A = this chain, B = another copy of it.
Amino acid sequence: MRAVVWHGPDQVRVDERPEPTLEQPDDAILRVTTSAICGSDLHLVRGRLPRVRPGTVIGHEFCGEVVAVGEGVRRHRPGDRAVAAMHTACGRCPSCLAGQHARCPDYAMFGCGELFGDLDGGQAELVRVPLADMTLAPIPSGLDDADALFVGDILATAYTACVDAGIAPGETAAVVGCGPVGQLLVECLQLFAPAAVFAIDPVAERLAQAAGRGAVPLPAGDDPRAALRALNRGRRADCVLEAVGSAGGLETAWRLVETGGRVVLVGLLVDEPFPESAGQTWLRALTVRPVLGRPYAHRDTLLRLIQQGRLHPAGVVSETVPLADAPDAYRRLQARLTTKVLLRP
User: A133 on the interface (CB 8 Å rule)?
Assistant: yes
A304-B195, A308-B196 known; A278 and B265 CB under 8 Å? yes
User: A281 on the interface (CB 8 Å rule)?
Assistant: yes
Pairs A–B under 8 Å by Cβ, sample size 26: A24-B72, A25-B25, A25-B72, A75-B92, A91-B91, A91-B96, A91-B97, A92-B133, A97-B296, A100-B260, A169-B191, A170-B300, A196-B308, A250-B278, A265-B282, A269-B278, A269-B283, A271-B279, A272-B279, A273-B277, A274-B278, A278-B288, A282-B290, A285-B290, A287-B289, A288-B288
Known: A250-B278, A269-B278, A273-B278; 10 extra A-B contacts, CB below 8 A, are: A24-B72, A25-B71, A74-B106, A97-B296, A169-B191, A195-B304, A195-B310, A265-B278, A268-B282, A271-B277
Q: Give residues in A with beta carbon < 8 Å to B.
A: 24-26, 71-72, 74-75, 90-94, 96-98, 100, 103, 106, 131, 133-134, 168-170, 191-193, 195-196, 250, 260, 265, 268-275, 277-283, 285-290, 292, 296-297, 300-302, 304-305, 307-308, 310
Q: Is the pair B274, A270 in contact by a Cβ cutoff of 8 Å?
A: no
Question: For A24, A97, A305, which residue has the most chain B Cβ atoms within 10 angstroms?
Answer: A97
Closest to A295 in B: B97
